[in-house]
Amino acid sequence: MRSSLLFTFAGLLLLSSACMVGPNYKRPAAPQTPAYKEPLPDGWKEAQPNDGAIKGKWWEIYNDPALNALEEQVSISNQNVLAAEANFRAARYAVAIARAGLYPTVSAGPSITTSRSSGGFVSGGLVSASPSVVTTYTAAASASWTADIWGSVRRSVHAAQETAQADFALLENARLSYQSELAEDYFDLHGSDGDIDLLQRTVTSYEEYLKLTKDRYNSGVASGGDVALAQTQLDTTRAQLIDLGVARAQFEHAIAILAGKPPSAVTIPAELLKTPPPVVPVEVPSTLLERRPDIAAAERTVAAANEQIGIAVAAYYPTLTLSASGGFEATNITKWFSLPSRFWSLGAQMSEVAFEGGKRRAQVKMTEAQYDATVANYRQSVLTAFQQVEDNLAALRILGQEAIAVDQAVKAAQDSLTIATYQYKAGTVNYLTVITAQATALANEKTAVDLLTRRLTSSVLLIQALGGGWNTSALPNNEELRRGL
């Protein structure tokens, strides 16, 4: 009869376990804009969702096999990416740990105990004549289960799942970040190659001008000051050329580390940048919330914080623990598992904290404040994403216009240098005019080389700001989080 009542009570308890106290999660409203403020660069058009959108290996848009090979190494060997992947695996196991709270805890403990009683003790009015030795054989098992009436455990499971999803998004964000950094360094490195090539050609030209000036000096046409100016110009440019080796070496070392290799294992041949940045598909701003892994991580963190409020609210309510134990106990090993040696017990315990000096109320308020902080961080992530897209759209558009102007300036500076050279040879101007024209021509040519580098790195940053082809559909669901554990 008692067993029937206990099982009936347990059944009713299971039915009531669908109750979950605390707020249900609703994704907070995020800042929105119907269109980007910055117009697209000339020749670009707005892409519709999934219409030529960037896919996973976004770097292939640059059609550079060397870059492709380096980028493939980031996911495999970059230590920061591997650390983020390990954090995600740990978060998956945290889900399994939280889920274990939904099930009973069962333990078993066979034991053999030998005890000796002392002689001369009084028990029930009788005095023991002599000490006795008793061996007890016990095979016992026990089980206990705390009913999740108010949903505290289930909310813990949900929080762990949402945290694991956030960690997965952080992994993808780390992967995108280091892939983008490698591409930036790659283009900066070859931008340095362009500067080196320009200065090498300039040094050759200045050597010819120095020879011209010395010949004119030996002929009595030019002054020693002209020779000194030409020599100074040449030596200064040689020093600038040598100094560029520092930046190139550092970029090459940085690329090696991003690829997960020691600097000695990576050598990148010199190559000049010649192709302007490709057109990057830019979708409407509303798609950005689904494209950015950092935004997805922030949103999943909000969801996990919401579950913590429910867990704190559940602490207001009583807890119910069901327990059972049973087994066999005998003083004779031959009768250890006989029917008379069996024992068992069943029990239920309800507990409720009557007074904690406002602790639970403070815990609820604390989790609500923490939730508000995650909402603010989520919205700030969205605003930052819009800013990054706008910044790089503006950079690409403005740098493209500047490149046209600089190309014209380069041509004009070359014409000016040619004219100044003819005038100097004719003796109508001094060598300072040539030096000035040379410096102007070099400055404009270097600006043209550096502009192309900046345009390419800005395109990389735009792709990163757009999420690099990632999508929230890649977030693992609950079944995928459990798979393989």
Task: Write down the residue that tokens 């347990």 correspond to.
Answer: 10
Count of alpha carbons within 13 Å of 236, Cβ hemisphere only? Answer: 10
Each residue of 382-415: pLDDT tens digit?
999 999 999 999 999 999 999 999 999 999 999 9
* Tokens 């907070």 belong to residue: 28
pLDDT at 286: 85
List pLDDT tens digits, range 5-22.
455 455 545 544 558 888
Number of CB atoms found within 10 A of residue 47's CB: 19
Q: Distances from the Cα of 201 to the Cαs of 234, 334, 431, in angstroms? A: 11, 101, 20
* CB within 8 Å of 286: residues ≥ 6 apart: 32
Cα dihedral 400/406/411/412 (nearest 10)? 140
Contact by Cβ (8 Å): 448, 403 = yes
| Tokens (6 digits) for 243 | 């100094």
Locate the domains of the chain by residue range: 20-106+151-318+360-482
Could you identify the residue written with the tokens 């403005």? 398
Please tell me the distance from the alpha carbon of residue 413 to that of residue 416, in angstroms, as a whole number: 5
CA 464/CA 292 separation, integer angstroms = 9
Note whether 310 and 22 are within 8 A (CB). yes
3-state class (DSSP) for residue 315:
coil
Q: Is 320 left (phi over 0), alpha (psi -120 to 50) or beta?
A: beta
pLDDT value for 371: 96
Beta bridge partners of 54: none
Rounded to whole angstroms, the Cα distance separating 333 from 138 reads 10
Phi, psi of 446 (to 5 degrees): -65, -40
Q: Structure pTM?
A: 0.88
Q: CA nearest 186: which of 69, 41, 280, 81?
A: 69
Q: Could you say which residues of the chain have pLDDT below 50?
A: 1, 4-5, 8, 12, 15-16
Nearest in space to 194 (alpha carbons), one of 202, 183, 205: 202
Q: Is 453 left (phi over 0), alpha (psi -120 to 50) or beta?
A: alpha
Separation CA 306–CA 416 (nearest Å): 69
Which structure tokens are listed for 162? 């949402």
Burial state string for 437-454 with b = 16 or more CB within 10 A and e = fewer than 16: bbebbbebbbbbbbbbbb
How far is 324 from 281, CA to CA, in rounded Å? 64
Which architecture does CATH list for 20-106+151-318+360-482? Up-down Bundle (1.20)
